[in-house]
Amino acid sequence: MIMSDTRRATLTAKYGTDRPPMDPAMNTTVTAMLAAGAISAKAHGRGNAALFDPVWSPAMWTRANQAMAELRAGLAEGHIRFDTHDHYDTVDLDNPPAEAVFIWAPGSSSVLIACRSQANARTRQVRGPDYFSGMLQFFAMIDDYHSYGSGADAELRCTINVAEGCTAHAEDHGAGTTRLMPVRRGQFVLLFRCCRVCEDVAGLLADTNFQINVLEAQSKLPPGARIDLGSPVPPRVPPDRT
């Protein structure tokens, strides 16, 4: 079928196929997602993305999705409210900016508004991704190793809860029984606390499923070919072996 010039011009004008894609810096939602990624990546000493991979660790992936559902339901029902870091950052809490980063610890009743693009230059400079990742690093240094010996320790209980021996209901929640485990979901940063038991189970499952996926991919390659796990180029499977 040959398309007429008139039809082609109509479709081009409708869908903008002749226009280059938007610069990510001009897209506030993309900017917020990148800022959320930077915060979650720097907030703790190790990356947690593999532990929440939907293929390698489906239980953790499901837990993060459940947390997002809890957050959205809480916001809709009014059980969870938006908040700012301090009183210097004035923002309409009933109508938070859609381009901001939202930081939430599962079980908490407040969501921190961070890195909003409409803040003044001074606020953006001192309260960008580095500021908030540094703040979370400070919290982790205290909470990962300190026990308050009071009701505050309950805030340090495990919120991952994927292992049968999870310590969420133990009497002592502090002094190294859990650690901060941030994960990004779009422009949201979820601040889980994870006990050693849940992390061991999640890590074992992720490692096992990763190895299984590698073996499955390897079985589809031509004889003698091997997957180089350090290569940035993904393996290509010949069409006749799919």
pLDDT for the residue numbered 237: 55
> Three-class SS string for 174-186?
CCCCEEEEEEEEC
pLDDT for the residue numbered 74: 94
Q: Where are the alpha helices (DSSP H) in the chain?
A: 5-15, 28-42, 58-77, 121-126, 129-143, 196-219
Q: Which residues of the chain have pLDDT under 70?
A: 1, 20-26, 45-46, 85-90, 116-127, 145-153, 170-176, 229, 233-242
pLDDT for the residue numbered 38: 84
Strand pairing class (81-83; 101-104): unpaired
CA distance 147 to 128: 30
Q: Torsions phi, psi of 174, nearest 5?
A: -105, -160
pLDDT for the residue numbered 17: 76
Q: Where are the domains of the chain?
A: 22-219
**For the whole model, what pTM was predicted?**
0.73
pLDDT for the residue numbered 70: 95
pLDDT for the residue numbered 66: 95
